[in-house]
Structure 1
């Protein structure tokens, strides 16, 4: 299992959000402990799992770019 672990600052550079926004607004609402980040050795430091963050960002983009239709089809915007 090859994962890329990023600090808050490194994640900030990749997704173009301020580190403070990641810590205060995204962590624990959009980014979930155990899925998107973990605390190695139970400490205060947080490491983000890039592959999981990226995968869920693409899922969210796909959900936003489709408009559900009454018959179950989808219109792609």
Structure 2
């Protein structure tokens, strides 16, 4: 299976989000290191993995809840300040 690696700007273009929103709101809250992105060779550069991101976007868009599921069974309906 081939993996598509994307920079932050390439991901922003693909999912139609602002680069700042990805960096400040999605990274580490929705996009998880090791699943959705990696830091090659332990560096500062971040490469996003398109296939897991696409899979999770489709999976979560089918859920009826608009909140983020929490460990205790509830949902978080917070927001991100940009």
TM-score bucket of the superposed structures, by smaller chain: 0.7 to 0.9
What is the CA-CA distance between 1:64 and the residue it aligns to? 3.0
How many residues were matched structurally?
65
Q: Residue 23 of structure 1 corresponds to which residue in structure 2? A: 23
Structure-1 separation of matches of 2:46 and 2:56: 19
Runs of 4+ in 1 over 6 A off after TM superposition: none
TM, length-normalised to structure 1: 0.81
| Higher-Rg member (1/2) | 1
Deviations 1:32-58 (A, max 9, x none): 000000000000000000000000000
TM, length-normalised to structure 2: 0.76
Structure-2 separation of matches of 1:64 and 1:50: 24
Structure-1 separation of matches of 2:3 and 2:10: 14
Q: Which structure 1 residue ranges, 5 or more long, are not aligned?
A: 66-77
Q: Residue 4 of structure 2 corresponds to which residue in structure 1? A: 4
Choose between structure 1 and 2: higher helix proportion.
1
